[in-house]
Amino acid sequence: MSRLAGIFWALLFLAVPILGVATFAVAPGYGIWLPKDVSVHGASIDSLFYFILVLTGVVFVVTEGLLFWFLWKYDVARGERRATYIQGSHTLEVVWTIIPAATLLFIAIYQMNAWADVKMRRPRMSPTVEVIARQFEWRLRYPGRDGQLGTSDDLHLVNDLHLPTDEEVLVQLKSMDVLHSFFLPHVRIKQDAVPGMKIPVWFKATEAGEFDIVCAELCGWGHYKMKGRVTYEPRAAFDAWLERKYAEQEATQPQPEPTADIATND
């Protein structure tokens, strides 16, 4: 390898961590970063994300820095000093096995509380809505005026999810066909919808607004268009929306025909 080629490859490995860190540094200023968090538990999820990002980022920068240093120092064209090759070191192998294992164990313990809040500490309440994933749409079923899912007065909608703000909501997630992933980026929720299973999903939105529902699992040729909208709104507005949708659904239902009285002679 020529001296010029050696310099090129050394500087290339040096540029990777520099450009990588710079990209992460400027991304928030250009709006290409995490979506706005509008949930109670989102802060703990984001904190865990940043912790792992910094931890892996430091390892990445150090590794790339060492690659640059060795390419520069042991450039064969310079011939100043040849690298010394070793067949292996048991001590070194033990050390670089223990350090990653200990790091992963620490992360597992560090994230336990955040995991429990989102996946284990289910609120004691009836489902607010049932979300049924289907190629390629989100089918929604709200309890009717009787407050129970699975009865004749349930409200049925597609891709138009509404939920109240500032209170816990419980979503019952199902799939009608293949594996899907129910992803609400702005409340930091992503849960696989598995055929044959009823999976509870819960969170509390803190801010009103309209956001996306997307499928984060490749589920077939129309995966790209499996998109809905979720609207978070105050309880009064949510109740008014429900009443309006109940009325619209009832207006489209066939009315029972009146039964004629049959006169009988004594």
Taken in order of first residue, the domains within the chain and their CATH numbers are 3-77+93-118 (no CATH), 129-252 (2.60.40.420)
Q: What is the pLDDT of residues 196-210, one digit of tens each?
A: 999 999 999 999 999
Mean pLDDT of 54-71: 88
φ and ψ at 212, to 5 degrees? -90, 150
How wide is the angle at C-alpha 182 spanned by C-alphas 236 and 132, nearest 5°? 75
Question: Higher model confidence: residue 256 or residue 177?
Answer: 177
CA distance 142 to 162: 10
> pLDDT tier at 257 (50, 70, 90 boundaries)?
low
Residue 204's pLDDT is: 95
Sequence-distant (≥ 6) Cβ neighbours of residue 231 within 8 angstroms: 160, 161, 162, 163, 208, 209, 210, 211
The whole-angstrom separation of Cα 155 and Cα 153 is 6
pLDDT tops 50 at residue 266: no
What is the rounded average pLDDT of the residues 159-164? Answer: 96
Dmax (CA) of the chain: 125
> Phi and psi (nearest 5°) for 265?
-90, 135
Buried b / exposed e along 195-218 (16+ C-beta atoms within 10 A): eeeebebbbbbeeeeebebbbebe
Q: What is the pLDDT of residue 87?
A: 78
CA distance 57 to 50: 10
Pick the closest to residue 242 from 154, 171, 159 (CA basis): 154
Q: In angstroms, rounded to a whole number, what is the distance separating the alpha carbons of residues 245 and 112?
A: 40
Look at the pTM and tell me if it is higher than 0.85: no
Q: How many CA atoms lie within 13 A of 228 on its CB side?
A: 25
Q: How confident is the model at residue 262 (pLDDT cuts 50, 70, 90)?
A: very low
Of the pLDDT bands very low, low, confident and very high (cuts 50, 70, 90), residue 101 is very high
Pinpoint the alpha helices (H) of 27-129: 42-73, 90-110, 112-119
